[in-house]
Structure 1
Amino acid sequence: MNKLTTIAVASMIAFNNGINAQDNVKQNEVNIGKSDIRLGSDLMTPEALWAMGRISSAEASPDGKHIVYQVGYYSVKENKSHHVICITDAKGNDNRQLTTSAKNETDPTWIENGKRIAYLSEGQIWAMNPDGSGRTRLSNIKDGVEGFKFSPDGKKVIIIKSLPFHDIIKKNPDDLPLATGRVATDLMYRHWDHYVESIQHPFVAKVTENGIDSEYDIMKGEPFECPMEPFGGIEQLAWSMDSKSIAYTSRKKTGKDYSISTDSDIYLYNTETGETKNLCKPDDYRPIETDATHTMKDQKVNSAENLANNPGYDTNPQFSPDGKYIAWQSMARDGYESDRNRLCVYNIATGDKTYVTETFDSNVDAFCWNHDSKSLSFIGVWHGCVNMYQTSLKGEVRQLTNDWADYVSISPANDGNKILAMRQSYSAPTDIYVVNPGKEIKKTEIRRITQENKHITDQLSFGKVQQRWVKTTDGKNMLCWIILPSHFDPNKKYPTLLFCEGGPQSPVSQFWSYRWNFQIMAANGYVIVAPNRHGLPGFGSEWNEEISGDWTGQCMDDYLSAIDNAAANLPFVDKDRLGAVGASFGGFSVYYLAGHHDKRFKCFISHDGAFNLESMYTDTEENWFSNWEYEDAYWKKNISANAKKTYENSPHRFIDNWDTPILCIHGEKDYRINANQGMGAFNAARMKGIPAELLIFPDENHWVLKPQNGVLWQRTFFGWLDKWLKK
């Protein structure tokens, strides 16, 4: 074991025992027996997955010589996570863990021109030297800090805090302190997995020799959130290079208006005058009236003349190093959360906006400015892989990498043209890399600088990954990933799983998941077929958009083409032992296929899938989603052919055709697709006499986040598959 692995294991053991890891660790050294990390088998297990460290952020020092990053470890026994801060040199030769207490320490960033590292611990901002010494608490903010970003001159800091919010859910009477009821007066009373009784606001505070204080709310009195729910963070705010302005993201709507619209904007706040300017819309812009029960697709808000006013998602601003521009990710249309994410560059002096990735017909997933301020690097999916690209301010795009991998983050390496990135694949969990772009793809240098889970992955036998292209029923070509079982024997026949992707517009790219992990499926002796069906990004906008209004059409034919043509013709696939699995839209797909598979499959698993689309329309909290995807409310379904087709082909209408064992999984805190959907499917199956199981999580949302629930999920998942596909 290297030093980082040794201390990580020591820290995890200390965390499990509820003690301070510093009591067990001396100068980052401790004797840990091999049994502490020895797996006992070369096949992936749920416990092996949960033993892996998860890198979640990385930042290069101003001089480019070091990288500070965050790793999360999980204890199945304690059912908790523990987050630590690590550092390495830019060559990856000296990986060390800086924080060793049993407390969570997160969000590391360089301050004081690289002399110190700031981080969060117990809801306050702390700082330490790059060697982990000299720890000092910088803030004493009432109600705690949830995110922060220091200004370039180090004299100010943005602080994210939550404020009480009772515009939608009334505050209960003071004389009823134990009352648990909530009185809601409008939509968006809950979001993702919680009731909306607070919102985040950005504050600016002074940084002095005595610490951080005197914070003030830059959106004081505004009933809007920044960062935006449900996943926004500090990346939605940025400092100008002169430390005088802040660009921030906000959707300044509430209630029903919020629930049907994706119209967020970029605002520029002047810290000296207190003035705020909307960079996306003119000063005299007035909201356009919309029909709350009809798709925004053909409403006036998305008319050609209004598209210049950025009615879609605009998020994640970044100032150019020379201070002349602000770039951000921008979707064109209101109400379409999966519209193509473009890269917009705003000229601060002229107010002109230029979209510099128009020739890249896919999403910009993340980006950063290059040091010359004349170009930007970004990552985006194409043909099932998320690679790295570069664009000039004129929109000249070129590809930098061509890997069977997913780059999941990107930032300056502060060393010439080099880029710091995190990368993963079907066969490798996330690690940190330094990329040195070449003039041609083949001359780009990619150097891995962390090996967080090498001590585990070296003990595992992974299944090989293949690509196959198959014809769809409309005559197009579809990419399918094929993952072979561990210890694959070409002379054997294997049970095979059709993987149905969610979204519905999420790519089947080279992701590494700690739940939907293809290598653990391979370790359990299954072939996996993962098609990039119609509706997924990375194959052009036309392919991507064909899913909306057609959930049960071409994309379902694509699933059957994948299993019939990409899999069933392979000599090692057992056509009599096929299963279909999926989550979210993938779970909906499973419910639909259960009534239309013509006895292809021997079992199904649906996680958090939509079962009854009429119920789903009014159950979900983000109403823009169902409006765009279904086109109309179910009581208006006869207005359009797509709406009529959508509701009439809802899976619950085909229970008469169900004849195959099914496992339904759902979280009761899933407010995107409510748990009644999974319960309804399970109840219907059992009432009909079909073998079925329901795995219900009262404390989980659309995902499964707690370690013991995660292990239970995996054991139940494979127990069900083995029961019906390995007889």
Structure 2
Amino acid sequence: MKLKSFFMVMATTGLILSCTPTEQKSDVDSKNLGEAIGKSKIKVENGIMTPEVLYSFGRIGSVEVSPDKSRVLYQVTYVDIKENKTNTELFVINTDGSDKKQLTVTNARESNPQWISNGKKIAFLSNESGSSQIWVMNPDGSGMKRITDVEEGIDGFIFSPDNKKVLFIKSVKSLETVKERYPDLPKASGRIVDDLMYKHWDSWVEQIPHVFLADVSDDKLTNIVDLLQDEPYEAPMLPFGGIEQLAWSPDGKTIAYTSRKKTGKEYALSTNSDIYFYDVESGKTTNMTEGMMGYDVNPQFSPDGTKLAWQSMERDGYESDKNRLFVMDLATGEKNYVTEHFDYNTDAFVWNTDNKTIYLVACVEAKTQLFSADIQSKEITPITKGKHDYATVALGNGKLIAKRHSMSQPDEIYAVELSNGQATEISFENKHILDQLTFGETEERWIKTTDGKEMLTWVVYPPNFDSTKSYPALLYCQGGPQNTVSQFWSYRWNLQLMAANGYIVVAPNRRGVPGFGQEWNEQISGDYGGQNMKDYLSAIDALAEEPFVDETRLGCTGASYGGFSVYWLAGNHEKRFKAFLSHAGIFNLEAQYLETEEMWFANWDMGGPYWDKTNATAQKTYATSPHRFVDRWDTPIMITHGEYDYRILASQGMMAFNAAQLRGIPSRMLIFPDENHWISKPQNGILFQREFFRWFDQWLKP
């Protein structure tokens, strides 16, 4: 895209803001509770999980601790399967779990809640006016008032420490449209593409997020400034970056934001993002991580404002590099690699009030725990232990407040004692459903691989498991590829739901997942059809030897890279499996190289383009593409895919299905015309689960 065209478009992009205080919502207590999608009242039969039960859980989102550390503000999303809709509401609770109160009861979506005015007010996003805008209310839910009217809505926001200014995220046009170029063709639907990264995950890149700064007074915004005015760059970064990529300094004079200041082909080939400082008074922008070549994201100022912490990857083009914790002394510019001697990723973190300690979230051996990091000594000390995953961390009064889940429980909020790691659940959002369910045991097994290493494999047993009986088993193949099979809870790949349908689930942490050191994580790059596939077979072979596993009724499933694994194993399993199911999987690696969007991913993991005949790694990769083994397919296979998936195009699934049909292999395809790489709509999710079990039951159950 030409920069001149971008600047012209930017100059015409306007913000429409309210000039007077806007309408108020009535207090929450006067709302008709029956009108809003809320907590499910489902009754569970026989204690067994079903897809309908799975979609009845409340899903806890963002969690914010009040300035005095006494209360927790959080959001919960509910699902209405019949209406095929979701709804998000806001709650507040004391950090000891008492005095829980629902603050909103509407079918508008309230989200992104934050404490402002030193805890005297709450700000949040709501789409009640037709687009996502900032609202404020009292801590008891009364006095709701909209304070913005930004054209096309706001995607996230954060108030300055003194509440006199606000940062907000809004999408701006990044391309001249056909209608603008050719006004006489108002009904033309074509897109004109001149450069790479024209699509991303599930959308065409026609808008990008920018950060805006505004003054707040009398419940309205004035003096609005685009921090990236006339810059064709994202901040925060697509597709997953949000408000966590922005930060205010404690004195409100500096804004830190994350951006990868590249466009087109350069953007598609590089992961080199940086942390930028914006001086509020002068408007000057400074790159604080110049020369650090990988992802640098998620800045946080220390409470005294003297230091900056952030997450950093080292190598450009490697999106699964070690996620390191760095701290910079802002007076000297000295950078300190805090987790240098800790061989695991930093997944999330928060400063302690002493300005010397950082509490972080890290996955170690497929359990995600809370740790304490001394930024001077670089000593990393575990705080928690157990069979679970912590997902977030925030600072309470002498405690940590964190979301936690496991394979047997969706996210709930816990208060964690710093002295001994003792965790106490305080939210109990889903207790009324969990109390009705019987889950199977989740066993941690260490299995020897073909090269003599030990591999942690989760084995999930059916509820009321009887070791004297023989069960069918499913091998679960992880996506990513570099995602740990931790104690995760999923609304699509829920291992307890699989177990509830009478299957023993085998979930290996094969080569190429974090949580077991960098060597284990990095082995998979350039070796897609190699050691990790042997690891999968080692795991299923070990379980097939058990008397309670029927080795004649083994299935295999997975999504994304897991879907690739299914396709690969379908041609290389030596008749171990009796049925396969692949979702959003890569079938033809040569086609995938030119169909995908983030080229850094394809270059790093595949080794490079298939036409580079001098590149041994690339040639090895493409020689082991699943489509090259279709002549060996001999087992029923089901394929599912979403047509909005621009990471792995639906054509990959269609090719695999067509190949199976032409070879006479029993096969089925489930295509979602309105889903992306995931399945997000409630009824589509239920449909997926029903077809998943209909397929495996057909081939693996008598």
Q: Which residue of 2 aligns with 1:676?
A: 651
Deviates more, 1:98-107 or 1:509-518: 98-107
Query: C-alpha separation between the residues in 1 aligned to 2:558 and 2:74?
Result: 32
Per-residue deviation at 1:24? 3.0
Query: C-alpha separation between the residues in 1 aligned to 2:430 and 2:145?
Result: 31
Query: C-alpha separation between the residues in 2 aligned to 1:29 and 1:353?
Result: 50
Residue 168 of structure 1 contacts residue 255 of structure 1 at CA under 8 Å; is this kept in 2? no
Q: For residues 423-481 of structure 1, give each alpha carbon's deviation from its aligned partner in whole angstroms, at most 9, with x where no partner exists.
A: 0000010001111212xxxx222111111111111111101100111111111110000
Q: Please say if 1:52 is aligned against 2:53.
A: no
Per-residue deviation at 1:273? 0.5
Query: C-alpha separation between the residues in 2 aligned to 1:124 and 1:640?
Result: 51
Q: Please say if 1:634 is aligned against 2:610.
A: yes
Query: C-alpha separation between the residues in 2 aligned to 1:344 and 1:169?
Result: 45
1:398 to 369, 375, 381: 381
Q: Please say if 1:527 is aligned against 2:536.
A: no
Q: Which residue of 2 aligns with 1:288?
A: none
SS in 1 for 2:185: coil
After superposition, residues 308-387 of structure 1 pair within 5 angstroms as 309-387=291-369
Q: Please say if 1:119 is aligned against 2:95.
A: no
Q: Which residue of 1 aligns with 2:95?
A: 90
Which one-letter code corresponds to 2:361 in the other structure?
I
After superposition, residues 224-623 of structure 1 pair within 5 angstroms as 224-281=233-290, 309-394=291-376, 395-413=378-396, 415-416=397-398, 418-438=399-419, 443-565=420-542, 567-623=543-599
1:156 to 165, 170, 174: 165
Q: Which residue of 1 aligns with 2:15?
A: none
SS in 2 for 1:248: strand
1:65 to 70, 75, 79: 70
Query: C-alpha separation between the residues in 1 aligned to 2:447 and 2:235?
Result: 44
Query: C-alpha separation between the residues in 2 aligned to 1:29 and 1:352?
Result: 52
Q: Which residue of 2 aligns with 1:296?
A: none
Per-residue deviation at 1:128? 0.8
**RMSD over aligned Cα, in angstroms?**
1.8
Query: C-alpha separation between the residues in 1 aligned to 2:296 and 2:550?
Result: 48
Change (3 A) 1:151 1:651: same
Which one-letter code corresponds to 1:581 in the other structure?
T
Q: Which residue of 2 aligns with 1:185?
A: 194
Residue 168 of structure 1 contacts residue 187 of structure 1 at CA under 8 Å; is this kept in 2? no
Residue 667 of structure 1 contacts residue 699 of structure 1 at CA under 8 Å; is this kept in 2? yes
Q: Which residue of 2 aligns with 1:712?
A: 687
Q: Please say if 1:24 is aligned against 2:32.
A: yes
SS in 1 for 2:555: strand
1:74 to 72, 76, 79: 79
For structure 1, list consecutive stretches of 5 or more residues without a partner in the other structure: 1-19, 282-308
Residue 36 of structure 2 contacts residue 107 of structure 2 at CA under 8 Å; is this kept in 1? no
2:642 to 642, 647, 667: 667
SS in 2 for 1:520: helix
Query: C-alpha separation between the residues in 2 aligned to 1:144 and 1:582?
Result: 36
Per-residue deviation at 1:152? 0.6
Q: Please say if 1:175 is aligned against 2:150.
A: no
Q: For residues 478-508 of structure 1, give each alpha carbon's deviation from its aligned partner in whole angstroms, at most 9, with x where no partner exists.
A: 0000000012111111000001001110000
Change (3 A) 1:107 1:541: same
Q: For residues 607-654 of structure 1, give each alpha carbon's deviation from its aligned partner in whole angstroms, at most 9, with x where no partner exists.
A: 100000000000000010010011120011x32322111101100011
Per-residue deviation at 1:40? 2.9
Per-residue deviation at 1:177? 2.5
Q: Which residue of 1 aligns with 2:16?
A: none
Query: C-alpha separation between the residues in 1 aligned to 2:311 and 2:180?
Result: 36
Q: Please say if 1:723 is aligned against 2:698.
A: yes
Change (3 A) 1:519 1:455: same
Change (3 A) 1:676 1:320: same
Per-residue deviation at 1:667? 0.6
Which one-letter code corresponds to 2:337 in the other structure?
Y
Per-residue deviation at 1:172? 5.0
Residue 668 of structure 1 contacts residue 674 of structure 1 at CA under 8 Å; is this kept in 2? yes
Change (3 A) 1:323 1:612: same
Q: Which residue of 2 aligns with 1:104?
A: 109
Per-residue deviation at 1:170? 9.0
Change (3 A) 1:35 1:336: closer
Q: Among the aligned pairs, what percent are the same residue? A: 55
Change (3 A) 1:163 1:609: same
Residue 140 of structure 1 contacts residue 213 of structure 1 at CA under 8 Å; is this kept in 2? no
SS in 2 for 1:522: helix
SS in 2 for 1:639: coil
Which one-letter code corresponds to 2:447 in the other structure?
V
Q: Which residue of 1 aligns with 2:23?
A: none
Query: C-alpha separation between the residues in 1 aligned to 2:61 and 2:107?
Result: 18
Which one-letter code corresponds to 1:682 in the other structure?
F
Q: For residues 180-232 of structure 1, give each alpha carbon's deviation from its aligned partner in whole angstroms, at most 9, with x where no partner exists.
A: 21011100001010001111100001111242233110110000011100011
